[in-house]
Amino acid sequence: MNPAKISFSRIGQLANPPIISHIMAVALENPDMLSLAAGFTDTKALPVQPVRDATLALSSNGKTPEYLQYGTTIGRPKLRKFVAKRLSQIDQHQSPAYNLDNVMLTTGSQQALYLAIQVLCDPGDILLVESPSYFVFLELLKGLGIQAVGIPVDENDEMDTVALSGMLAGWQSEGSLDKVKGVYIESWFSNPSTHCLSNGEKTALAEVLKEAGLLVPILEDGAYMELYFEEAFPSTSIFAIEAFDGFPRLFFGTFTKPFASGLKVGYAICDHSDILSKMVNVKGHHDFGSSNYTQSIVETAMTDGSYDAQLNKGRDRYLQKMEILNEVLIQQGLPDSGWNWQKPAGGMYFWVKGPVQADTSIESAMFENAVKEGVLYVPGDLCFAPEGPKSYMRLTYGVLERDDLAEAGQRLANVIKQSN
C-alpha cells in the first residue's frame, strides 16, 4: 500500500534537511575524503579519563545513585551555581545576574537557543544577526519561520552601527520595527568569522538599539569564549556592560566544545526571570530535563579540576592544529592568489576570503572540484542572512589529525589554484 499523504504542519513543511547533511553525504561517498567542513571536536583530546573518574566517583560505595535518577527540568543546582560563578569570575564583575536562579541547563547550547527563539519569536518576526553568523542557528530560525537579517558591516568587515541605525530608522518609518524581536551575537572566536566583539563594539550596538527604542532581548553566544589559544580576549559578557542595562540579556554557553561533545551539556543564563521561566516551561514540554547523568559528570569535572585541565589540553591541541593548517595554506601560496584570512586566536575555524569574483557555493565549479580532489569546506554564503557574498569559505581544524590536516590544506590549495 502506498504511504498515506500527510498534511504536515507549518513547522513540518519548513523542516528541511540541514545543508551540511548534503556536504556530509558527499564525504561519506569517498572514504578518502578529508573534511575541513565538520565542526567536530578533536577525538584524541576527548576527556576519557575525567569522564571515567567522574563515573567511578559518582558510583562509589554508599552514595545514593541520584545521578541516574530523573533530574529537574532546569538542571542540577550545583552545576548551575558553577556556571553563574564562573562567568562572574571571567567578567570580573558582580551583579544579581550571576545567580544560579538565572541559569538553566540544556542539551547543548543549541537547545537553549531553540527555546529562546520559541518563546520570543513568532513566524514572520525578525532577528538581527551578525554578517556572517552561525549557519546552524540560521537554519534553526528558518525552520521556525523567523527572518534573520544581517547587521551591515563596513569595508573591514566590522559591524557598521551607522548603517544599522539607518536600517532601523527605515523600518521605523515603514512601521515594521516592532517585528524585530531580538539580536543574536557571537562575541568570542565566532563561528565562522573567528571575530571577537570588543566591549566598545558591543556598547556601540546597545546605543544604536536604544536610540531606536529597541530594548529587545540580546542573545549573546559564548560557545568559544574559553577556547582561546594563549590569552583570553579582553572583553566581558553583556551582563558586565552598562550600556545593556534595561535590555533583557541572555548568554548561551556550553561544555560541549570545551570538554566533551558526546555529553551535550549546555546552558543559558538570563537576567529576565519571565523569559527564563517560559524557556524552562517549554523545555518541560520538550523533554522535562536533559540527562542528569551527563550533568553530574560535568559537575564532578568542574569540582575536581579536571575540567580546567581538559580545557588547557584542548587549547594547546587546537593551537597546534591551527598553526599546521595556517602554515600549509600560506606555503601553498593562497595569499598570493588573493585568498586571505585573519589568523585565529581561538575557536576552531578559519574564515577565508577569496577575490570578489570567487564562487565557493555548493553549486560552484570550485565545490565540485574540491569533492573531486577529496577535500570539503563549508561554503561561506550559507553563513549570511538573508544572503551574502559567495567568496568566503569556512575551514575547521577541529577533528582532522595533523598529517591529514596538512594533506587537506594542500588539496584545498590545489582546488583554489585551479580556480584562478
284 lies in the site for a second copy, by CB under 8 A = yes
Question: 306-331 and 292-303 helices cross at what angle (nearest 10)?
Answer: 90
On the 0-12 / 13-18 / 19+ scale of CB atoms within 10 A, 145 is: middle
Beta-carbon count within 10 A of 162 CB: 11
What is the closest distance, in whole angstroms, from the C-beta atom of residue 104 to a second copy in the complex? 13
Least distance CB 230 / a second copy (angstroms):
26
Q: Cβ of residue 169: shortest distance to a second copy, in angstroms?
A: 21
Q: Does 396 bind a second copy (CB under 8 A)?
A: no
- Does 55 participate in binding a second copy (rule CB under 8 A)? yes
Please list, in sequence order, all residues whose beta carbon lies within 8 angstroms of the beta carbon of residue 40, skipping any fewer than 6 positions away: 261, 396, 398, 399
Question: Considering only residues 247, 252, 351, 367, which one is a binding residue for a second copy as defined by CB under 8 A?
Answer: 247
Residue 66 touches a second copy, criterion: CB under 8 A: yes
- Which of 127/196 has CB closer to a second copy? 127
241 versus 413: smaller Cβ distance to a second copy = 241
235 is a site residue for a second copy (CB under 8 A): no
Q: How far apart are CA 349 and CA 357, in angstroms?
A: 23
- From candidates 22, 30, 65, 420, binder to a second copy by CB under 8 A: 65
Minimal CA–CA distance to 228: which of 134, 327, 318, 130?
Answer: 318
Question: Rule CB under 8 A: is residue 273 a binding residue for a second copy?
Answer: yes
Q: Which of 91, 125, 220, 381 binds a second copy (CB under 8 A)?
A: 125
* 110 is a contact residue toward a second copy (CB under 8 A): yes
Contacts of 378 (CB under 8 A, 6+ apart): 20, 23, 37, 135, 192, 393, 394, 395, 396
Instruction: Report the residue number, 114 or 171, with the smaller CB distance to a second copy.
Output: 114
List the x/- string, 181-220, binding to a second copy by CB under 8 A.
x---------------------------------x-x---
* One-letter identity of residue 310: Q
For a second copy, the binding residue among 86, 90, 93, 119 (CB under 8 A) is 119
317 binds a second copy (CB under 8 A): no
β-pairing, 375-376 with 349-353?
unpaired
* Burial (0-12, 13-18, 19+ Cβ within 10 Å), 131: buried
* Residue 341, CA distances (Å) to 65, 262, 325, 334 in order: 50, 31, 12, 10
